Amino acid sequence: MSNLSINLLIMMWSIIIIISMTVFFRIVLMRQKYTIDMLHLIVKEMDLKNPIDSEIRSFLAQGKKMKAIKIAQKIYGFTPHEAEDYINSL
């Protein structure tokens, strides 16, 4: 085998591995989001109170939505969009 064919083979396998890992991580992230959503649903159905959520609600009552979003991002590790969705679900 020539060096060119070996390099092409290596490149092809590298691309396959990268695509496989991307798909794998997307599946893991989707499962993680599903689990988090289910946990939120369980907490809501059981009417459990989280003291952090009480603090976030107090900021919302004061009209400080951005402050509430920042706290949700910091505490829960949400992206800005996820934090806003979470705040809106309270």
Burial 69-87 (b: 16+ CB within 10 A, else e): bebbbeeeebeeebbbebb
* Average pLDDT of the chain, as a whole number: 91
The pLDDT of residue 34? 95
The pLDDT of residue 52? 83
The mean per-residue pLDDT over the stretch 62-86 comes to 93
- Rounded to whole angstroms, the Cα distance separating 15 from 12 reads 5
The pLDDT of residue 1? 67
**83 close to 76: Cβ distance less than 8 angstroms:** yes
* Amino acid at position 73, single letter: Q
